Amino acid sequence: MAARRRLIRPRLGRKVAGVCLGFSEYFDLDVALVRVVWLLCALLSGGVGLIAYIIAWIVIPGEPHLLPAAPVDAERVHNP
């Protein structure tokens, strides 16, 4: 998968808020590695990593909802 151009929180595949998945797609890294590093930062920094996660959750935009395509009127296609 190619890296994304924008840092967003994807809707599919997220565990909590999609922050780690967003960073892993943006930097083209394995999501498990990003989650482990973020967990270690949260545990070993005295809570600074958890606060950073919450801030990232608020600041990074979520992926937009995909709208279904409008139905095509077959009669209008054949008889303009």
Q: Mind listing the pLDDT tens digit for each residue in 34-72? A: 999 999 998 999 889 899 999 999 999 988 777 777 666
d(CA 24, CA 32): 9
**9 domain-assigned:** yes
**4 domain-assigned:** yes
**8 domain-assigned:** yes
**12 domain-assigned:** yes
pTM here is 0.70
Question: If DSSP states are collapsed to H, E and C, what string results for 46-63?
Answer: CCHHHHHHHHHHHHCCEC
Residue 80 has pLDDT above 60, yes or no: no
Residue type for position 7 = L
Note the pLDDT of residue 13: 80
Q: Which among 74, 78, 63, 79 is positioned nearest to 11, based on CA atoms?
A: 63
Residue 74 has pLDDT above 60, yes or no: no
Q: What is the extent of the structural domain holding 11?
A: 1-64
**78 domain-assigned:** no
What are the C-alpha distances in Å from 79 to residues 27, 47, 74, 75? 49, 65, 9, 6
Domain count for the chain: 1
